A and B are shown apart, each in its own frame.
Chain A
Amino acid sequence: MSWLTDFVKPKLRALVRADVPEDLWEKCPNCGQMIFQKELEQLHRVCPHCDHHMRLGAKARLDHLFGAEQWESIALPEVPLDPLKFRDRQRYGDRLKAAQSKTGLKDAVLVGAGDLGDVPVVAAAFDFGFMGGSMGIAVGEAVYAAARAAVARKAALIIFPSSGGARMQEGILSLMQMPRTVIAVDDVKNAGLPYFVVLTDPTTGGVTASFAMLGDIHVAETGAVIGFAGQRVIAETIREQLPPGFQRAEYLQEHGMVDIVVHREHLVGTLTRLVDLLIRPVPKQEALPAPEKPGEPAAEEDDPNRIVPVDLAAENGAGMANGPDEKAR
């Protein structure tokens, strides 16, 4: 029996697996149709049959935004792990390790820097696969690191939340990430730089009630669930059926909380246009004056292509709002 179960069975299983790779096809969780994996990747995980936008992992999200290998990873600071020594039916430390090996990430957010068009952008992408994209200290630090990188590089900041909310296992310290992330995105705004939020499925709880609702522009992916309280909690509280489309991107747009609802196919184009509009008020074509003396480049201050908002902010002092001793924290 041992030879059969220990040796032959695994070998057989491996053979079967090699013949029919499980990940060749993927079933759409919305319409149930089988989709050829390669096609799904080409469509950035939007179902070709029903247009359902499946979740993108953090790396896939940054690859989609900037192009694969077209972005630089921003290092994230070390944070205390499991500060409360939290334990439910499982240790939080074990849950963290499991999430890390499942996703290959250290925590739920990746930060990358790259260009959209030729405008510098720093982007922070949540990975729902990492403990539901929940916000603990590491996530708060990642958002803060992204904001600092944006200010340092005079770049636009784009955050892609995908999160069930606060990470309960970090208790009150997860709640404290709400003010901490608000401080982070306000630093970007105070530096005169654009801060965009791309609300992806799902954006709920303490994430929505902090940095995710404070963007200069709120873009939402088609069909994304966006809200504060969970639908089950609301249904139990009011004891009524929830209205159709409740807490969907389109519903939030109708209720004034979202500027633009966009299909993932057009997302990068939309963002590229938006950052260009806000960061480069003078169009590029007009911005190439003939050099006065041939061969000599125009003086830098005459270059309308330079990124202006930061300079403007520095002139009126808004850029100094953070104070010099901040860096020593």
Chain B
Amino acid sequence: MHSFLDFEQSVAELESKIDGLRATQGMGGVDIQDEIKRLEDKVQNTLQEIYENLDPWRKVQVARHPARPKLARIIDRLIEDYEPLAGDRTFGEDAAIGGGIGRFNGRSVVVMGTEKGSTTEDRLKHNFGMARPEGYRKARRLMEMAERFNLPLLSFVDTAGAYPGVGAEERGQAEAIARAIETGLQLRIPFVAAIVGEGGSGGAIALAAANRVLMLEHAVYSVISPEGCASILWRSADHAKEAATALRLTAQEMERLKVADRVIEEPLGGAHRDVDGTIDRLGAAMQNALDPLVVMDGDRLRQQRRARFLALGQIESGMAAE
């Protein structure tokens, strides 16, 4: 059932053996329960070994895994009474960015995020999570709605980046992203963002100029894709692995650089092995991040967000090398 990454081949083989054994079960003869148990233990050990030692490039693969938790599933599991909202009131509706209002642990919130889609048809509909200006303008609308009704704002980011297209440029992709960042920074309501899979450049920061930024354990956050970086600096996308290392794009590096406030542990073998379990942990972490924010007044919230971003990359914040 799983789609396996190339470095998970040993797991794939073990699991297909287990499936084979299960299929023969009940056909009489030897007791195979012990064998199944032995193989399952081996799967766990192998997964542990692989996932404890993921290099940055493998992390990128995990972050892009097709079965990574998607916005629709996250909302379905965490948000009650959800009402999706649509459109930027200027040009159109962009399905690459979803959002609306609902209840999170009983409290009314505004939710927004990028949606990559789960099936081929779905992915096309959502443009693989790459938004156009309409999407960022809708996000801005949602932010302003949160502000107007004094509701906390939750943002879930999983995008390769903003869509590079002629229409997107003509309708002001850059301006739409800039305004989304600006609006996020000015809010006087609690704003928590989570990088769930890929945090791709401007398209990610547009939805993540938040009071608290959380990241899933194997999520990545980067100014450019490793392939893009490699093709510019190494003159070949074949050097993506080296670029991924040089860019330091892992959640762990983000925490060290204070770009992420907290890293949320994923199940053994990555979020795609237990999507609902991952979403539950994500929900608990979002609530934890929200708790101290909901008691702060608007000016303080805005002030905290400003200070948070202004402090990044400063000498006094311990940036001067490891």
Note all chain A residues with C-beta closer than 8 A to B177: 209-210, 228
Confirm or deny: B242 has a beta carbon within 8 angstroms of a beta carbon on chain A.
yes
A173 and B257 form a contact (CB under 8 A):
yes
Q: How far is the CA of A209 from the CA of B172 in the complex (A)?
A: 9
Looking at the assembled complex, report how far the CB atom of A133 sits from the nearest CB atom of chain B, in whole angstroms: 15
B249 and A182 form a contact (CB under 8 A):
no
Looking at the assembled complex, report how far the CB atom of A208 sits from the nearest CB atom of chain B, in whole angstroms: 4
Note all chain A residues with C-beta closer than 8 A to B246: 84, 86-88, 171
The number of chain B residues with a CB under 8 A from chain A is 62
Confirm or deny: B224 has a beta carbon within 8 angstroms of a beta carbon on chain A.
yes
B315 and A79 form a contact (CB under 8 A):
yes
Note all chain B residues with C-beta closer than 8 A to A182: 178, 181-182, 185, 209
Q: Which of A63-71, A117-125, A240-248 contacts B (4 or more CB under 8 A)?
A: A240-248
Interface of chain A residues 97 through 129 with chain B (CB within 8 A)? none
Confirm or deny: B234 has a beta carbon within 8 angstroms of a beta carbon on chain A.
yes
Pick from A206, A230, A256: contact of B202, CB under 8 Å: A206
Confirm or deny: A229 has a beta carbon within 8 angstroms of a beta carbon on chain B.
yes
Pick from A172, A176, A247, A329: contact of B169, CB under 8 Å: A247
Residue of A nearest to B312 (CB): A176
Confirm or deny: A234 has a beta carbon within 8 angstroms of a beta carbon on chain B.
yes
A84 and B166 form a contact (CB under 8 A):
no
Q: How far is the CA of A83 from the CA of B181 in the complex (A)?
A: 24
Confirm or deny: B284 has a beta carbon within 8 angstroms of a beta carbon on chain A.
no
Confirm or deny: A85 has a beta carbon within 8 angstroms of a beta carbon on chain B.
yes
B312 and A180 form a contact (CB under 8 A):
yes
A210 and B166 form a contact (CB under 8 A):
no
Note all chain A residues with C-beta closer than 8 A to B299: 323
B234 and A89 form a contact (CB under 8 A):
yes
Note all chain B residues with C-beta closer than 8 A to A140: 313
Interface of chain B residues 132 through 182 with chain A (CB within 8 A)? 162-166, 168-175, 177-179, 181-182
Interface size class, chain A: 35 or more
Confirm or deny: B104 has a beta carbon within 8 angstroms of a beta carbon on chain A.
no
Looking at the assembled complex, report how far the CB atom of A136 sits from the nearest CB atom of chain B, in whole angstroms: 8
Looking at the assembled complex, report how far the CB atom of B233 sits from the nearest CB atom of chain A, in whole angstroms: 4
Note all chain A residues with C-beta closer than 8 A to B182: 182, 186, 214
Confirm or deny: B27 has a beta carbon within 8 angstroms of a beta carbon on chain A.
no
B222 and A256 form a contact (CB under 8 A):
no
Confirm or deny: B36 has a beta carbon within 8 angstroms of a beta carbon on chain A.
no
| Most chain B beta-carbon neighbours within 10 Å: one of A169, A179, A256 | A179
Note all chain A residues with C-beta closer than 8 A to B257: 83, 172-173
Confirm or deny: B201 has a beta carbon within 8 angstroms of a beta carbon on chain A.
yes
A171 and B313 form a contact (CB under 8 A):
no
Confirm or deny: A160 has a beta carbon within 8 angstroms of a beta carbon on chain B.
no
Note all chain B residues with C-beta closer than 8 A to A1: none
A257 and B309 form a contact (CB under 8 A):
no
Question: Could you show 13 A-B contacts with beta carbons less than 8 Å apart?
Answer: A83-B319, A88-B239, A144-B310, A166-B223, A173-B312, A182-B182, A209-B177, A210-B181, A212-B178, A229-B164, A242-B166, A257-B175, A326-B307
Partner-B contacts on A (CB < 8 A): 78-80, 83-89, 137, 140, 144, 166, 168-180, 182-183, 186, 205-206, 208-214, 227-230, 233-234, 237-238, 240, 242-243, 246-247, 255-257, 322-323, 325-326, 329
Other than the given A172-B222, A173-B313, A243-B166, 20 more pairs (CB < 8 A) read A80-B320, A168-B223, A171-B249, A172-B223, A172-B248, A178-B202, A178-B205, A179-B205, A183-B306, A206-B223, A210-B178, A227-B169, A228-B177, A229-B165, A234-B165, A237-B164, A246-B169, A255-B172, A326-B310, A329-B307
Identify the 7 closest CB pairs spanning chains A and B, nearest first: A229-B164, A208-B174, A88-B233, A228-B174, A209-B177, A175-B223, A213-B175
